[in-house]
Amino acid sequence: GDSVTQMEGPVTLSEEAFLTINCTYTATGYPSLFWYVQYPGEGLQLLLKATKADDKGSNKGFEATYRKETTSFHLEKGSVQVSDSAVYFCALSGWSSASKIIFGSGTRLSIRP
Amino acid sequence: DVKVTQSSRYLVKRTGEKVFLECVQDMDHENMFWYRQDPGLGLRLIYFSYDVKMKEKGDIPEGYSVSREKKERFSLILESASTSQTSMYLCASTEGNYNEQFFGPGTRLTVL
């Protein structure tokens, strides 16, 4: 079945560092891909998405590119801030999951000043 | 702005009590979902509904039931709460297939 594998955390970086959180997926066909963010004590919010190969999703300085050839959707940000500290989830919705979303296990990111 | 609301942010119940968690969405979405989130286990789907009065089991339905009498409201019921059901519960909704889900703020349930 469909699955998402993302980088284990926690990840700790200094402010203004470059961020990459790796995400790879297994799915039939062409799934939609998402990154969600969860700030402490809150629900999940959609950060960005891409619905077809080579699409780039972007929001709040974060970017991810849908790579069909490597089945990847890595999250990047050029300069992180303390306010980016949160848990990040990679996710997909594809042919076999229909309205459901398959989530990765989440990566906790901590940014130190 | 889209909105999913949950009836409580924090709830404390005793073992054996019947517990109702309510979720309401204002986007006229057909699909609604209940998840639980536990440290180290990520999000796990309990139940979902793709229409009024329709429900499907997710990955961990044991000990839970659901009710969807109106399109905008999806309730999660713990028939007899146990300490193992202490968790964060998240509700979400979406329209159609392959689209993003919109989440509520979560209910942190503690069962003593």
Closest alpha carbon to A101 in B43, B75, B41, B1 = B43
Q: Output the pLDDT for position B99.
A: 86
Q: Do A43 and B99 touch (CB under 8 A)?
A: no
pLDDT at B111: 98
Residue B46 near residue B35 (C-beta atoms within 8 A): yes
Q: Is B106's CB within 8 Å of A42's CB?
A: yes
B55/B104 Cα distance (integer angstroms): 19
Give the span between the Cα atoms of B36 and B49, in whole angstroms. 16
A108 pLDDT tier (thresholds 50, 70, 90): very high
| Cβ pair A18, A79 in contact under 8 A | yes
Q: What is the pLDDT along chain B (112 residues), one digit of tens a residue?
A: 669 999 999 999 999 999 999 999 999 999 999 999 998 888 999 999 999 989 999 999 999 999 999 999 999 999 999 999 999 999 999 988 888 999 999 999 999 9
CA distances for A38 relative to A32, A43, A45, B67, angstroms: 20, 6, 6, 27
Instruction: Name the minimum distance, in Å, from the CA of B47 to any CA of chain A.
Output: 11
How high is the pLDDT of residue B29? 94
